[in-house]
Amino acid sequence: MKAAEHQVKPGIDIRSSRDKSRLHEPPHPPSELLTSIRTGIGNDLHRLIPGRKLILGGVRIPFARGPAGHSDGDALAHAICDALLGAAALGDIGRHFPDTSPKWRGVSSLLFLRHVRKLLQHAGYAIVNVDATVGLERPRLFPHIPLMQKKLAQALGLKAGQVSVKAKTGEGMDALGRGEAVRADAVALISKLVEKSRVEKSRS
């Protein structure tokens, strides 16, 4: 057979019927492609008052004032709780730890994080990482950040490298800058747990 007989004539569609049918398939909606990965944001703000311990990320920091609150007032832990709960669409910290309940009065907010971790596990989610920022005019938080990250990671069942904590001042502006309050913001990434049998089936 001559080589010329193998050439395709211009204008002839040589794609298979299967390939052509794919052209008419509707694209997958974003919700179907992204359901295994979810993000959430959280924030918390507390007034600083005399006679309260300043606790952030489970770490007690020497200072004359601390956050007003029903629990220990750990704004950093609270923001992370809300970020994780929001990512899994499980409500917020006020729903799970109401300030009207004696059960949570004065407790460590690390207990909140452990409880939230269990809620996510029950819902089929695993925590990928957490990134948080604390806003506080004084005292300086930088020396305490490694221990904060360690305690937060332990409460969440994560490695230290999966938890990031940063610190900022208010540059003298608003309640934060005047040293009247502490604020924390957090972002969390979670993933849906997939059964091993389902993964193996998809590979076969």
- Domain ranges (residues) in the chain: 34-192
pLDDT in tens, 69-110: 888 999 999 999 999 999 999 999 989 888 888 888 879 999
Q: Domain 34-192, what fold?
A: 60s Ribosomal Protein L30; Chain: A; (3.30.1330)
Average predicted confidence (pLDDT) for the chain: 84
| Residue 165: strand pairing partners | 132
Per-residue DSSP letter, 66: E
Q: Which of the pair, 103 or 164, is modelled with greater confidence? A: 164
At 97, phi and psi to the nearest 5? -135, 65
Reported as a single tens digit per residue, the pLDDT across 2-14 is: 444 445 455 555 4
> Cα separation of 121 and 127, whole Å?
9
Residues 11-62 have pLDDT tens digits of 555 455 555 555 555 554 444 444 579 999 999 999 999 999 999 999 999 9
What would the DSSP string read from start to end of 108-132? Answer: -THHHHHHHHHHHHHTTEEEEEEEE
Which has the closest alpha carbon to 129: 99, 100, 157, 109?
157
pTM: 0.77
